[in-house]
Amino acid sequence: MVCFIKKHAKKITSLVLIGALALSTVFYGFSDKTKTVEAKTDKTTNVTTVGNTKAPKYVFFFIGDGMSFPQVQITSDYLGAIKQNSSSEILSGNKYLNFMKFDTVGSAVTYDSSSFCPDSASTATSLSTGHKTYSGVINMDETKSVSYETIAEKLKKQLGYKVGIISSVNINHATPAAYYAHQASRNNYYEIGTEMVSSGFEYFAGGEIKQPTGAKNDQKSIYDLAKTAGYKVVTTQQEAKALNSKSGKAIVIGETIADGGALSYDIDRKSDEWSLAEYVRTGINVLDNKKGFFMMVEGGKIDWACHANDAGSTIKDTVALADAVDVALSFYNKHKEETLIIVTGDHETGGLSIGYAGTDYDTFLTNLVNQKISYAKFDSDYVANYKKNNTAFESVLQDIKKNFGLLTSSDVDAAKYPKLVLTNYEYNKLYQAYQKTLGKSKVTLDKQEEYVLYGTYEPLTVTITHILNNKSGINFSTYAHTGLPVPVFAKGLGSNVFEGYYDNTSVYTKLASLLNIK
């Protein structure tokens, strides 16, 4: 046997090397960074294939701005809690959101070239182009001299896909802008608006265009530029309902506009006011065609609610995003062999935790049922009047009870709702915040202490949400972004490639590989 090995050593070595190379080729093919599979396009059907797999013809890309695992889980837990049988002592658990049941779940790391706690401009750049950059920069490198082409631009140019961009906040805000603009600063709203018009994308919908006539109000309106470029600028739901694939390019601005020029928080939305889901449904009507489409949908007010530490509004807007995903799922059920749906976040906001020191190992999530309006609406509908009329604290407490359910120990309903009764500690914090908001406070706080207590928000309002959050067993650690990874949920054609733990730039490279774009 030894002699045989010596005699045929060279042949054996060659065979081993060939076998090793073959195996390495097999395993190497599964590497996200090195996967190179020949792709072909049948020009008669416009079907692109990657290996033996068709490329998705219809792509829905949902981004929950500020949404990471905590936002998804607290929403799921809350829905489970309100379904819980009150007579049962055994916890029945959470209720899964539709996208939590998707075929594939991955995790994406979110750091950018500036920080482990990145912003929306840089993280959306990573998702849309596969490149890292500084916070505040949209689709440009760190020198701010090189522009990156986005996946939406490539799909339109290379494959002739129609493109739709939807957001619950301003449609020239950082996240939607990252799919069509290239700017050294996310604050270049006018320049972003002009790029929106020149993109030629078929459908934009959501909040108002920010600074439509420029920062100094001296530029030609973006809306007028859009009309000149052949866009229908639609501002009523009735007009929007009439849009279809033959309508041409359209910009749909919400009929009801709330804080910051955005759509209403879902907790504030009236029954006849369009939800995010309706803008997605209309988008499908506009974009549907034989070649294919790409639709990016942002639940932007999840982020805004988390910045303000408003858990109740966060949950409702996460549900609103899930409702919008339902519309995509209905489309998917009719086009299962051609559709891909991705749901992810750009970063986490607020440092949301399920658990609070004051409630030990317990949560009381049903307390949040008592929140009727967002922090922003309380500011506009109530706090503005308190300042104007110098409203007495006793009257303010009645409004707090009405809108958030919090009670004093002397309230007639205190015995009925013991988990919502203010402790002496909470009452004093609330009174201090009330005095601060109305300019009556005689207590001087240093800048750090004041920021930790109130951030940049109305002291009274943010203290109300803090107390309700904490009584529910929820806490926020910051008013800013954090460095948590975000989930990536995927369903449909090619969804399996999104499994694993990877950098957020890989979300782009995986999708680009599936679609065979360069």
Give the residue numbers annotated as catalytic, written as ranges: 120
- 363 annotated ligand-binding residue: no
* CA dist 86 → 81, 222, 441, 468 (Å): 9, 54, 42, 20
Q: Which of 297, 253, 259 is nearest to 274 (CA)?
A: 253
CA distances from 491 to 61, 98, 329 (A): 11, 11, 9
Does 347 show up as a binding residue in the annotation? yes
- CA atoms in the 13 A half-sphere facing the CB of 161: 27
**Which residue reads 């290996």 in tokens?**
51
The reply, when asked if residue 303 is annotated as ligand binding, is yes
Task: Specify the pairing of strand 104-109 against strand 500-503.
Answer: parallel
Check the annotation: does 381 bind a ligand.
Answer: no
- Report the alpha-carbon distance of residue 102 to residue 117 in Å, rounded: 27
Q: How far apart are CA 170 and CA 193, in angstroms?
A: 10
Q: What number of residues does the chain have?
A: 518
Rg (CA), the chain: 26
CA distance 106 to 485: 10
- Strand segments, DSSP code E, in 464-507 are 474-476, 481-482, 486-492, 500-503
Q: Is 298 annotated as a binding residue?
A: yes
Tokens of 238: 């009735």
Estimate to the nearest angstrom the gap between the alpha carbon of 90 and the chain centroid.
Answer: 33
Tokens matching residue 398: 């009645």
Residue set of the binding site for Zn(2+): 65, 303, 307, 346-347, 481
Residue set of the binding site: 65, 173, 175, 298, 303, 307, 346-347, 481
Residue set of the binding site for Mg(2+): 65, 173, 175, 298
